[in-house]
Chains A and B, each alone.
Chain A
Amino acid sequence: MEIITQNSEILIMLAIGFGLFMAWGVGANDVANAMGTSVGSGAITVKQAIIIAIIFEFAGAVLAGGEVTATVRKGILDASVFVDSPHLLVYGMLAALLSAGFWLLIASSYGWPVSTTHSIVGAIVGFGAVGMGVEAVAWDKVGTIVASWVISPLLAGTLAVFIFKSLQKRIISTENPLENAKRYLPFYVFIVGFVIALVTLLKGLKHVESLKHLGKDFPTSMLIAVVVGVIASLIAAVIVRRIKTDPEDDADFHYANMEKLFGGLMVVTACSMAFAHGSNDVANAIGPLAAVYSIVESGGDIASKSALPSWILLVGGGGIVFGLATFGFKVMRTIGQGITELTPSRGFAAELAAATTVVLASYTGLPVSTTQVLVGAVLGVGIARGLASLNMSVINRIFLSWIVTLPAGAIMAIVFFYALKGLFGA
Chain B
Amino acid sequence: MARSDISGLFGRSPINPLQQHMKQVHLCLKEFTAFAKAASKDDWDKAELSRSLIVKKENKADELKKKLRMNLPSTFMMPFSRRDLLDLLLIQDSIANITKDLAGLMATRKMIFPVEIAQDFLDLVTVSVKTSAAALEAINELDELLETAFSSRERKIVDTIVTKINALEHESDIAQHLIRTKLFTLEATLPPVDVMFYYRAIEWLGETADAAQKVGSRLEVMLAK
Inside 8 A of A397's CB, which chain B residues have their CB?
A: 8
Contact A390 B149 (CB under 8 A): no
The CB with the most chain A CB atoms within 10 A, among B9, B10, B14, is that of B9
Q: Which of A36, A110, A173, A334 contacts B148 (CB 8 A)?
A: A173
CB contacts under 8 Å to B, within A100-114, are 107-114
One of B76-84, B91-99, B107-115, B196-204 contacting the partner: B76-84
Mostly, the A contact residues are helix
Inside 8 A of B2's CB, which chain A residues have their CB?
A: 110-112
Contact A390 B10 (CB under 8 A): yes
Name the residue of chain B whose CB is nearest to the CB of A396.
B75
Instruction: State the Cβ distance, B110 to closest chain A Cβ, in Å.
Output: 43
Instruction: State the Cβ distance, B113 to closest chain A Cβ, in Å.
Output: 40
Inside 8 A of A110's CB, which chain B residues have their CB?
A: 2, 4
Contact B9 A378 (CB under 8 A): yes
Bound Cα distance A134, B125 (Å): 81
Instruction: State the Cβ distance, B137 to closest chain A Cβ, in Å.
Output: 13
Inside 8 A of A382's CB, which chain B residues have their CB?
A: 77, 79
A287 at the interface (CB under 8 A from B): no
Can you list, as one digit per residue, whether each of B124-166 has a CB less than 8 Å from chain A (1) or not (0)? 0000000000000000000110111111111000000000000
Inside 8 A of A81's CB, which chain B residues have their CB?
A: none
A331 at the interface (CB under 8 A from B): yes
Bound Cα distance A265, B30 (Å): 44
Inside 8 A of B12's CB, which chain A residues have their CB?
A: 341, 389
Bound Cα distance A340, B76 (Å): 16
Inside 8 A of A112's CB, which chain B residues have their CB?
A: 2, 4
User: Given that A111-B1, A112-B4, A389-B78 are known contacts, is A341 also in contact with B149, CB under 8 Å in the complex?
Assistant: no
Bound Cα distance A338, B73 (Å): 18
CB contacts under 8 Å to B, within A344-394, are 345, 371, 374-375, 378-379, 382, 384-394
Contact A389 B147 (CB under 8 A): no
Bound Cα distance A174, B154 (Å): 10
Q: How many chain B residues have a CB neighbour from A under 8 Å?
A: 34
B45 at the interface (CB under 8 A from A): no
> In the complex, how many residue pairs between chain A and chain B have their CB atoms under 8 Å apart?
133
Q: How many chain A residues have a CB neighbour from B under 8 Å?
A: 51
B181 at the interface (CB under 8 A from A): no
User: Given that A338-B3, A394-B9 are known contacts, is A172 also in contact with B147, CB under 8 Å in the complex?
Assistant: yes
Bound Cα distance A255, B143 (Å): 10
Contact B79 A392 (CB under 8 A): no
A253 at the interface (CB under 8 A from B): yes
Bound Cα distance A252, B4 (Å): 35
Q: Which of B1, B15, B75, B79 contacts A393 (CB 8 A)?
A: B75
A214 at the interface (CB under 8 A from B): no
Bound Cα distance A390, B78 (Å): 7
A132 at the interface (CB under 8 A from B): no
Can you list, as one digit per residue, whether each of A20-50 has a CB less than 8 Å from chain B (1) or not (0)? 0000000001001100110010000000000
Name the residue of chain A whose CB is nearest to the CB of B82.
A389
CB contacts under 8 Å to A, within B1-28, are 1-15
Name the residue of chain B whose CB is nearest to the CB of A256.
B147
User: Given that A168-B149, A173-B154 are known contacts, is A335 also in contact with B7, CB under 8 Å in the complex?
Assistant: yes
Contact A107 B4 (CB under 8 A): yes
Inside 8 A of B77's CB, which chain A residues have their CB?
A: 379, 382, 389-392
| Interface residue ranges, A against B (CB under 8 Å) | 29, 32-33, 36-37, 40, 107-114, 164, 168, 172-174, 253-255, 331, 334-335, 337-343, 345, 371, 374-375, 378-379, 382, 384-394, 397
By Cβ-Cβ distance, the 9 closest A-B pairs, closest first, are A338-B7, A111-B2, A173-B151, A388-B13, A389-B11, A385-B79, A173-B148, A111-B4, A393-B75
Sample (11) of A-B pairs whose CB atoms are under 8 Å apart: A32-B5, A40-B7, A172-B147, A172-B151, A334-B5, A339-B10, A341-B10, A385-B225, A389-B13, A389-B78, A394-B9
